[in-house]
Structure 1
């Protein structure tokens, strides 16, 4: 299944009617940064900060971006500069590009109903969609919307000997999730000043500030009226009979979190019948330990700079982890991906694929329901264009490039 520049529209907008909606969007939003700026205007701050903000003073968010920007790749001359194959195989399944949608909490706070838009876009584009434990839709609905590309991300719920966690695994298996992604980089609640300044609570408790902001965010308000107050329906079955959204939010705050031990990961490995990924690894020794107990993949991530402000950039840890386990497991990457070029950088450094989160939500915030489709098209095109410019017709050629990555960690 080769995707020869398979994005829906002509690369960089060539050949697209200048009066079409697609052409207009390309002129207004040629980059993810343009989408971010528009989303910041269209989304109330209580929603925008839940996604855009990081831990502390956002130094980790900036470090992720800066480290990716500093990576240089040397183009090769003489290679076929024509169409390229962007398709990849991950855990035995074919996808159209080395790109996926990462799990994100509070998506429906950023834009009510966002999860449905992202799931549908991933299905249409044939890229992985990772539904989360604290998603705004139940995992069963996510699986119906994205049956060919659905993965499930699990947070730690340790009460009653992981009763809820193991039941979520059972439900994910029954719903047809292809990959279980277990997140290990949330041992405690991080301090995120943007969320604190906005006094975020679920369900929303209107203040004069939020009412005024909502008044100038009609698209967001319309989405809220259609979809209702955000909640975490994956957790609803564990909150008693007919729980309110406040009950579910309180359950999530009380029960979700903590760091998985390797012994716990072994138990989940035994329970899950399919590929299993550990997400949030930043040290090669931890990656080696995870692979030694039977995990199939390692997702190098610092939670997008949202947990530990002083953590290294995730991309700077990638080469050492690839060296440690790349021959034995599938290595994935997330944290700071804002372009197809960032995806190419991660693949050139040894990742099998890179996942993005904020970029897709910025598309929804800036454009609306079809914003996620716009971002998938744009990023896949950017992957294809970068590969063509580098003289790399496929993923193997990308990994053979000469690369300068001065900030990479050595162990």
Structure 2
């Protein structure tokens, strides 16, 4: 009897919930089936200061927790009786994407895993998902564009000196590199206080301590990656400092020159200077979304900076419906802040987003698996999205917003 059960169970396991990967990928999926498993492995493999930098928010980490609780509270009602193959493909700003999933910009990503920017760019091109490379990424925008092709987007902070001369030069560089989507960050008007980084001494200029050295020595995989890639640096900024562009000089330039947010007047100037798609990142109020559309932007990225800027901000998912209602069809709605699963992606799409982005999830993938991590997380999120859509009876992304949704904590701006 036991043998009969075993012979029956194996094909059933393959058919139900075992995932679509085979060989080594299937074994890896059994070991790391969720982002929680990936996070535990990353915690063991990267230095403590790096994990704290990735995991922490601002203040008491209330906003990061709020993002998670708010996403968990969104309920979707399945519909049955019309089974059909699930398709996750979508188009964002004329770019065909394998899924409505992208990699968010994370400044100084090389602290989490040396070489992160290049890994993300290569994974984006391979998996056909967008990657918004940051102004403070550890590879230059030209290299990102070469590796990612049309999936390499560019996130821009403002450098107001000399009437934004460096800001406009970065825009020209992005255009010359073939970047098709520019994302201007609005939600960093002042530097936030991040207690974990302060306790770890992770400030500019960085001064390693005995504890830091011990953390690094206890993380051999991270240390090998560092030996291969070299110290993380602000590669986009190096051409704007006096030669030789040492890390200290470049870090000092970043500290003194990157200031504040963009005014709406400057967003309009940016619109005039940029012929590609223009996105504003960090919108949490429908009136700001309407103002952005009035100056000509093509996309609104609803985000609270992943909980890393303002602890009292609402969960990004809770303001998404109001922004979706205000924008209508006048712009593409994107979402980030708290995405940890394909089910979270389905929730955001059901509430009006056209695409979603995650930063921590992909960096945790690097911490857990090194160079394989970004593509693994992209595949995991897509498979989970396919499962969620199949369970919901939604064969296409267009069907998700038609579902009945219970969202008790949706923000009421009236």
Q: Residue in 1 aligned with 2:350?
A: 348
Residue pairs, 1:241-320, within 5 angstroms? 241-320=243-322
Q: Residue in 1 aligned with 2:4?
A: none
Deviation per residue, 1:326-376 (Å, 9 max, x gap): 320000000000001101100000000110110011011011110111101
Q: Residue in 2 aligned with 1:85?
A: 87
Q: CA deviation at 1:52?
A: 1.1
Please give the secondary structure, in 2, of the residue aligned with 1:147. Answer: helix
- Normalised by the length of structure 2, the TM-score is 0.94
* Paired residues of 1:104 and 1:357 also in contact (CA < 8 A): yes
Residues 308, 10 of structure 1: CA spacing in aligned structure 2 closer, same or farther, 3 A cutoff? farther
* Paired residues of 1:232 and 1:249 also in contact (CA < 8 A): yes
Residue segments in structure 1 that go unaligned for 5+ positions in a row: 1-8
Deviation per residue, 1:45-91 (Å, 9 max, x gap): 221122111001111000001000000000001121x4211011111
Deviation per residue, 1:243-265 (Å, 9 max, x gap): 11110011111111301110011
User: Structure 1 stretches (4+) deviating beyond 3 angstroms?
Assistant: 9-17, 201-205
* Paired residues of 1:326 and 1:350 also in contact (CA < 8 A): no
* Paired residues of 1:10 and 1:16 also in contact (CA < 8 A): no
Q: Residue in 2 aligned with 1:13?
A: 18
Deviation per residue, 1:17-44 (Å, 9 max, x gap): 5xx3212211221111111111111111
> Aligned partners of 1:11 and 1:267: how far apart in 2?
53
> Aligned partners of 1:203 and 1:10: how far apart in 2?
54
Q: CA deviation at 1:228?
A: 0.8
Q: Give the counterpart of 2:142 among 135, 140, 143.
A: 140
Q: Give the counterpart of 2:46 among 43, 46, 54.
A: 43
Residues 103, 360 of structure 1: CA spacing in aligned structure 2 closer, same or farther, 3 A cutoff? same
- Normalised by the length of structure 1, the TM-score is 0.95
* Paired residues of 2:105 and 2:359 also in contact (CA < 8 A): yes
> Aligned partners of 2:203 and 2:151: how far apart in 1?
32
> Aligned partners of 1:194 and 1:79: how far apart in 2?
50
Q: Residue in 2 aligned with 1:113?
A: 115
Deviation per residue, 1:188-240 (Å, 9 max, x gap): 11010111111014675331111111121000000111111111010111112
Please give the secondary structure, in 2, of the residue aligned with 1:151. Answer: strand
Q: Residue in 1 aligned with 2:6?
A: none
Q: Residue in 1 aligned with 2:395?
A: 393
> Aligned partners of 1:192 and 1:313: how far apart in 2?
18
Residues 167, 15 of structure 1: CA spacing in aligned structure 2 closer, same or farther, 3 A cutoff? closer
- Structure 1 residue 73 corresponds to structure 2 residue 76: yes
Residues 303, 279 of structure 1: CA spacing in aligned structure 2 closer, same or farther, 3 A cutoff? same
Q: CA deviation at 1:10?
A: 8.9
* Paired residues of 1:54 and 1:60 also in contact (CA < 8 A): yes
Residue segments in structure 2 that go unaligned for 5+ positions in a row: 1-13
Q: Give the counterpart of 2:224 among 211, 222, 225.
A: 222
Please give the secondary structure, in 2, of the residue aligned with 1:368. Answer: helix
> Aligned partners of 1:145 and 1:391: how far apart in 2?
36
Q: Give the counterpart of 2:194 among 189, 192, 195.
A: 192
Q: Residue in 1 aligned with 2:56?
A: 53
Q: CA deviation at 1:15?
A: 6.1
> Aligned partners of 2:20 and 2:264: how far apart in 1?
53
Residues 73, 43 of structure 1: CA spacing in aligned structure 2 closer, same or farther, 3 A cutoff? same
What RMSD over aligned residues (CA atoms) do the two structures have, in Å?
1.4
* Paired residues of 1:203 and 1:245 also in contact (CA < 8 A): no
Please give the secondary structure, in 1, of the residue aligned with 2:149. Answer: coil
Residues 264, 367 of structure 1: CA spacing in aligned structure 2 closer, same or farther, 3 A cutoff? same
After alignment, is 20-29 or 230-239 more displaced? 20-29
* Paired residues of 1:50 and 1:106 also in contact (CA < 8 A): no
Residues 14, 47 of structure 1: CA spacing in aligned structure 2 closer, same or farther, 3 A cutoff? closer
Q: Residue in 1 aligned with 2:11?
A: none
> Aligned partners of 2:183 and 2:19: how far apart in 1?
38
> Aligned partners of 1:123 and 1:11: how far apart in 2?
30
The number of aligned residues is: 400
> Aligned partners of 1:10 and 1:285: how far apart in 2?
48
Residues 107, 141 of structure 1: CA spacing in aligned structure 2 closer, same or farther, 3 A cutoff? same
> Aligned partners of 1:330 and 1:251: how far apart in 2?
34
